[in-house]
Amino acid sequence: MLRYFSTLLVFCSFSAFVFAQSDVNELIESGNQKIKERNFKAASSDFKNALEISPDDTAALNGIILTYIYLKDFREANKWIEQALEKHPENPAFLYRRGIVNNLNDNYEKAISDFEEALAKKPYTSLTIQILLNKASSHYKLEQYNEALDIYNKVIELDPRNFKAYNFRGLVNFKLGYFVDAVTDYTKAIDLDPSYPLPYYNRGMSLLKLNELQSACSDFRKACQLGYVNSCKMVVAECGVK
């Protein structure tokens, strides 16, 4: 009889855990859906409820941090980041999020330090790429263009079809005066996503530097057609309205 009750107690405890975990998973799924719907306050409520059940859950912690970043409540985001790092000091994702917040607060050197610390934790490849892209952005903001260029080269080695890497490497090459290389990068970005206007505009600006006005105007018109207002202004200023 004692063995029966012991077994029953273990079974009930296990069942309670399973149901609780199911509730956590549902709340996290709901929170992520609300992020997609840009209902960030409701999303934060879901993630908080999940964390009340399971305070160490990494998905819930990541979710609530992300919602406060979207809400631009960086103080609250940092509070949750520090809590997450106390519970999971070896998790690179939370160091990455802290770097994002520092970038958004114009604390680029601190952001670089966070990204380097995250990379030292050997994150999986897709997270590594995101960390590198944001680290390169920090160097770009500090006008450390050669450092940014090296990082974008690394991203392209890891992911040869990364649209962002080509587009941003084009910006760096433009800043360094490598206009032919910039055109090549923007052309690759356009090949990867022909519906996005910015690479057309950027390639047009690079072509202007190369005195290729006709080709530049073709790009400006295309970017304008795709809804990029600055490109419409360039059509008027450099090409005439056609």
Let me know: does 99 contact 131? Beta carbons within 8 Å: yes
Ranges of H-type helices in the chain = 2-36, 40-53, 58-70, 74-87, 92-104, 108-120, 125-141, 145-158, 163-175, 179-192, 198-209, 213-225, 229-234
Closest CA to 27 of 7, 5, 48: 48
Question: What are the extents of the domains in the chain?
Answer: 161-242
Instruction: Look at 19-28, 122-131, 148-157, 179-188 and tell me which has the smallest mean pLDDT.
Output: 19-28
Assigned fold of 161-242: 1.25.40
* Mean pLDDT score of the chain: 91
pTM equals: 0.86
**Average pLDDT estimate for 189-204:** 97
Instruction: Look at 2-16, 199-213, 217-231 and tell me which has the smallest mean pLDDT.
Output: 2-16
Q: What is the pLDDT of residue 24?
A: 87
Q: What is the pLDDT of residues 6-16, one digit of tens each?
A: 444 444 343 34
